[in-house]
């Protein structure tokens, strides 16, 4: 197997605040191969942005406590000096953000902002950098780039601004592009255009992409692999197809049921996930999803599930849920045909305190003793 471009291992990012320790990212591992796309999906506050900002070295200052390892292109980024990280940021790794209006400086022409991005990583003349900026603006589909380069951000529509952000991010030929909810602030039709553009450029320029979103629908067609995050952890990981066809985590089921899809029966209602995301200061005991999970058993409130291979057809497929694999599959089988959680619970019997095999090994006595 080739060495991945980005490898994150056991990354933990905690923030010390007056209210207590915010466990924003709590031991996540993932990797991205060259030219490939990983989707990171999860509700607001699940730690998606914090983990990516940490890859960029942008959470370093202040109250953050970071551990684990981040290896990019053979280099350890967590121990890299601030000066080294500056050359990585905007050079090898670029990032675009949710709101393209507030992400561009309102007082500078877009051309100047692109030129600055190029010249801070390349010793080239202003004229050369300007040519490069025009080229990039053309590449992202900005009409008449030679003239529009001297416009200010507020003179563009939201979609065009995001194109400008993409041009700026790609101006130094990064190996990795982190797109943090790049379409959330845009109209639905524009969303699709921006996703298409990212995908097109990624193939043309052979850039790897980490696509962050809270909307599984967004990543469906764009990504090869998906990591589902909940409360600072990855709770399910696998190939995109697997996540859509054979998801095994109740939270992923909830996400899938809450988006409109083509392959679900028409009359099926969209069901939002019940409850609210947990506090990251006092996380729920055991499985952090248990207060919101329809399938919770007593033992799940005590035992913290690890992310483990499902043993299914996709060898990369992993899940962090204490239900036995067969039970998970029967539950999903019911859910995918349109049953509500209550309905499937009537059909599928959940073994009272039987845990998935590995968890049982770790905590067998405790559970049996109840």
Partner 1 sequence: MAAYIVRRLLWTVLLLLVITAVTFLIFYVLPSGDPAKLRAGRSPSPETLAAIRNQLGLDKPLYQQYGEYVWNIVRHFDFGNSYTNNQEVRTLVFSRLPNTIFLVLGAATIWFLSGVVIGTVSAVARGSFWDRLLMGGALVAISAPVYWMGLVSLYLFSDDIGKFKLLPGSGAYQSAHGLIDKGHALILPWLVLAAAFAAIYARLLRSNLLETLSEDYIRTARAKGLSERRVVLRHGLRSAITPIVTVLGLDIGILMGGAILTETVFNIDGVGRLAFDAIQRGDLATIQGTTVVLAFGVAIMSLVVDILYAFLDPRVRY
Site membership for ligand SF4, residue 257 (CB under 6 A): no
Q: Which is nearer to ligand SF4, 159 or 305 (CB)?
A: 305
Nearer of residues 220 and 293 to ligand SF4, judged by Cβ: 293
- Residue 332 makes contact with ligand SF4 by CB under 6 A: no
Query: Quick one: 124 or 306, whose CB is closer to ligand SF4?
Result: 306
Instruction: Please identify which residue in 66, 68, 86, 199 interacts with partner 1, judged by CB under 8 A.
Output: 86
Smallest distance from partner 1 to CB 133, Å: 13
Q: What is the rounded CA–CA span in Å between residue 281 and residue 127?
A: 51
Burial class (CB in 10 A: 0-12, 13-18, 19+), 127: exposed
Tell me the C-alpha distance between 172 and 91, whole Å.
6
| Binding mask of the shown chain, residues 90 to 119, with x at each position contacting partner 1 by CB under 8 A | xx--xx-x-x--xxxxxxx-------xx--
Report the C-alpha gap between 249 and 332 in whole angstroms.
9
Reduced to 3 states (helix: H, G, I; strand: E, B; else coil), residue 96 is strand
Determine if 296 is a binding residue for ligand SF4 (CB under 6 A). Answer: yes
Please tell me the distance from the alpha carbon of residue 285 to that of residue 274, in angstroms, as a whole number: 19
Q: Is 230 in the site for ligand SF4 (CB under 6 A)?
A: no
Residue 262 CB contacts under 8 Å (≥ 6 apart), including other chains:
none
Q: Which does 95 bind (CB under 5 to 8 A by kind): partner 1, Mg ion, ligand SF4, none?
A: partner 1
Strand ranges across the sheet with 64-72: 20-32, 6-17, 64-72, 75-76
* Closer residue to ligand ATP, CB minimum distance, 22 or 307: 22
Q: How far is the CB of 49 from partner 1 (least distance, A)?
A: 10
**Strands annotated E in 223-281:** 225-230, 233-239
Select the residue interacting with partner 1 from 36, 48, 121, 175 (CB under 8 A).
121
How far apart are CB 58 and partner 1 at their closest, in Å? 6
Q: Tell me the backbone φ, ψ of residue 61, rounded to 5 degrees.
A: -65, 160
Burial 338-360 (b: 16+ CB within 10 A, else e): ebebeebeeebebeeebbbeebb
| 230 vs 316: CA distance, rounded Å | 19
290 binds, among ligand SF4, Mg ion, ligand ATP, none (CB under 5 to 8 A by kind): ligand SF4
**Site map 47..66 versus partner 1, x via CB under 8 A:** ---------x-x--------
Does residue 119 contact residue 133 with C-beta atoms inside 8 Å? no
**Per-residue x/- track, 141-160, partner 1 (CB under 8 A):** -----------x-x------
255 binding ligand SF4? (CB under 6 A): no
From the CB of 43, what's the least distance to partner 1, in Å? 21
6 binds partner 1 (CB under 8 A): no
45: left (phi over 0), alpha (psi -120 to 50) or beta: left
Cβ within 8 Å of residue 18, ≥6 positions away: none
Residue 322: DSSP 8-state: -
CB of 251 to ligand SF4, least distance (A): 6
Q: Which phi and psi (to 5°) does residue 8 adopt?
A: -105, 130
- The interface with ligand SF4 within residues 264-293 (CB under 6 A) comprises 287, 289-290, 293
* Window 28 to 67, contacts with Mg ion (CB under 5 A): 49
For residue 87, state whether it binds partner 1 (rule: CB under 8 A).
Answer: yes
Q: Which residues pair with 13 in a beta bridge?
A: 25, 66
| CB closer to ligand ATP out of 47 and 286 | 47
The distance of closest approach from Cβ of residue 170 to ligand ATP in the complex, given in angstroms and rounded to an integer, is 22
Structure tokens at 30: 């993932």
Interatomic CA distance for residues 233 and 48, integer angstroms: 10
The site for ligand SF4 (CB under 6 A) is made up of 250, 287, 289-290, 293, 295-296, 300, 305, 321-323
The site for Mg ion (CB under 5 A) is made up of 49
């Amino acid at each position: 197997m080739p060495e991945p471009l980005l490898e994150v291992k056991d990354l933990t990012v905690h923030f010390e605040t007056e209210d207590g320790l915010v466990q924003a990212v709590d031991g996540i591992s993932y990797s991205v191969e060259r030219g490939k796309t990983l989707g990171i999906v999860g509700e607001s506050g699940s730690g998606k942005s914090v983990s990516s900002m940490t890859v960029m070295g942008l959470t370093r200052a202040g109250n953050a406590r970071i551990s684990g390892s981040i290896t990019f292109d053979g280099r350890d980024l967590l121990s890299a000096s601030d000066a080294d990280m500056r050359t990585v940021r905007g050079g090898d790794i670029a990032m675009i953000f949710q709101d393209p209006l507030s992400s561009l400086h309102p007082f500078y022409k877009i051309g100047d902002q692109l030129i600055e991005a190029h010249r801070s990583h390349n010793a080239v003349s202003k004229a050369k950098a300007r040519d490069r900026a025009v080229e990039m603006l053309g590449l992202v589909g900005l009409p008449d780039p030679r003239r529009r380069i001297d416009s200010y951000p507020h003179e563009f529509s939201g979609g065009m601004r995001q194109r400008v952000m993409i041009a700026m991010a790609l101006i130094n030929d990064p190996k990795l592009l982190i797109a943090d909810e790049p379409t959330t602030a845009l109209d639905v039709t524009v969303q699709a255009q921006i996703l298409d553009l990212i995908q097109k450029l990624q193939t043309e320029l052979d850039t790897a992409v980490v696509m962050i979103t809270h909307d599984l629908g967004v990543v469906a067609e764009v990504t090869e692999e998906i990591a589902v995050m909940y409360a600072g952890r990855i709770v399910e990981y696998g190939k995109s197809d697997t996540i859509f066809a054979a998801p095994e985590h109740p939270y992923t089921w909830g996400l899938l049921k809450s988006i409109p899809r083509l392959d679900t029966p028409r009359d099926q209602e969209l069901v939002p996930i019940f409850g609210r995301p947990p506090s990251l200061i006092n996380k729920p005991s055991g499985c952090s999803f248990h207060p919101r999970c329809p399938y919770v058993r007593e033992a799940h409130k005590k035992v913290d599930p690890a992310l483990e291979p499902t043993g299914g057809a996709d060898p990369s497929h992993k899940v962090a849920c204490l239900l036995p694999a067969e039970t998970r599959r029967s539950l999903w089988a019911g859910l995918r045909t349109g049953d509500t959680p209550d309905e499937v619970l009537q059909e599928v019997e959940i073994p009272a305190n039987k845990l998935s095999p590995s968890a049982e090994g770790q905590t067998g006595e405790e559970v049996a003793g109840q």
